[in-house]
Chain A
Amino acid sequence: AQSVTQLGSHVSVSEGALVLLRCNYSSSVPPYLFWYVQYPNQGLQLLLKYTSAATLVKGINGFEAEFKKSETSFHLTKPSAHMSDAAEYFCAVSGPNTGNQFYFGTGTSLTVIP
């Protein structure tokens, strides 16, 4: 079965510092990969997605993620954290081998320290 692992359920960074949120997937076939953000008391909003085109994917709000097949990773980064980036971030996978299902990671809560 497919799985998505997000390392670190809580990450804290200082305002202006690099944001790095980790995501690893298990798949023998390159999947479709997504990052979503959830602000308090809201639904999920798509940040970016990878669907086997360019390995470096740029998303909204200055975020980007790089697909690394050799490492089965899809880490999310942002060069400079802003206070408004504080939220819950979810990595998700779907694709031909997911049994018609979307698999989400358990989420990483990002805190931005002023």
Chain B
Amino acid sequence: EAGVTQSPTHLIKTRGQQATLRCSPISGHTSVYWYQQALGLGLQFLLWYDEGEERNRGNFPPRFSGRQFPNYSSELNVNALELEDSALYLCASSLAGVLDTQYFGPGTRLTVL
């Protein structure tokens, strides 16, 4: 069974640009989570989508947004990129919402120059 996949693996942008990151969950999983892992800051919760709707949001500005498609894949958009947005962005999926085990993808490394 395929795990969580993310694309691209690496993304290099300049300040002010927009970045789009993609995630495909494990087949049958309806919940998708996004986390930011910046150097020295651990994992910071960004967004949780379930059944196509945003269920919860972490303490991030509105320029971080996303959506979940009918096939449960998800997209994270970061507008007006800032240097401090440089981080590893991890996507996870779960079968039954936030109380269930989350399975993580390999991440997208975003570098903002």
B4→A43 contact, CB < 8 A: yes
The interface residues of chain B lying within 8 Å CB-to-CB of A105 are 42
B101→A100 contact, CB < 8 A: no
Considering only CB atoms, which chain A residue lies closest to B91 in the complex? A43
B103 partner, pick from A46, A99, A100, A106, beta carbons under 8 A = A46
B55→A100 contact, CB < 8 A: yes
A43→B105 contact, CB < 8 A: yes
The interface residues of chain B lying within 8 Å CB-to-CB of A111 are none
Interface flag for A17 (CB, 8 Å): no
The interface residues of chain A lying within 8 Å CB-to-CB of B42 are 90, 104-107
Bound state CA distance, A90 and B43, in angstroms?
9
The interface residues of chain A lying within 8 Å CB-to-CB of B41 are 106
A102→B45 contact, CB < 8 A: yes
Could you tell me how many residues of chain A have their Cβ less than 8 Å away from some Cβ of chain B? 23
Known A100-B48, A107-B42: A32·B90 in contact at CB below 8 Å: no
Considering only CB atoms, which chain B residue lies closest to A6 in the complex? B42
Q: Among residues 67 to 107 in chain A, which have CB atoms less than 8 Å away from a CB atom of chain B?
A: 90, 94-96, 98-107
Bound state CA distance, A96 and B98, in angstroms?
9
A43→B104 contact, CB < 8 A: yes
A95 partner, pick from B35, B48, B99, beta carbons under 8 A = B99
Considering only CB atoms, which chain B residue lies closest to A44 in the complex? B104
Interface flag for A28 (CB, 8 Å): no
Nearest CB of chain A from residue B73's CB, rounded to whole Å: 16
Bound state CA distance, A102 and B106, in angstroms?
18
Considering only CB atoms, which chain B residue lies closest to A99 in the complex? B56
The interface residues of chain A lying within 8 Å CB-to-CB of B33 are 102
The interface residues of chain A lying within 8 Å CB-to-CB of B4 are 43
Apart from A101-B45, A104-B42, what 19 extra A-B contacts exist at CB < 8 Å?
A32-B99, A36-B104, A43-B105, A43-B107, A46-B102, A46-B103, A94-B99, A95-B99, A96-B99, A98-B98, A100-B56, A100-B97, A100-B98, A101-B56, A101-B58, A102-B33, A103-B45, A106-B41, A106-B42
- Listed by A's residue number, 19 A-B pairs whose Cβ atoms lie within 8 Å are A34-B101, A34-B102, A43-B90, A43-B104, A43-B107, A44-B90, A46-B101, A46-B102, A94-B98, A95-B99, A98-B98, A100-B48, A100-B97, A102-B33, A102-B45, A103-B45, A104-B42, A106-B41, A106-B42
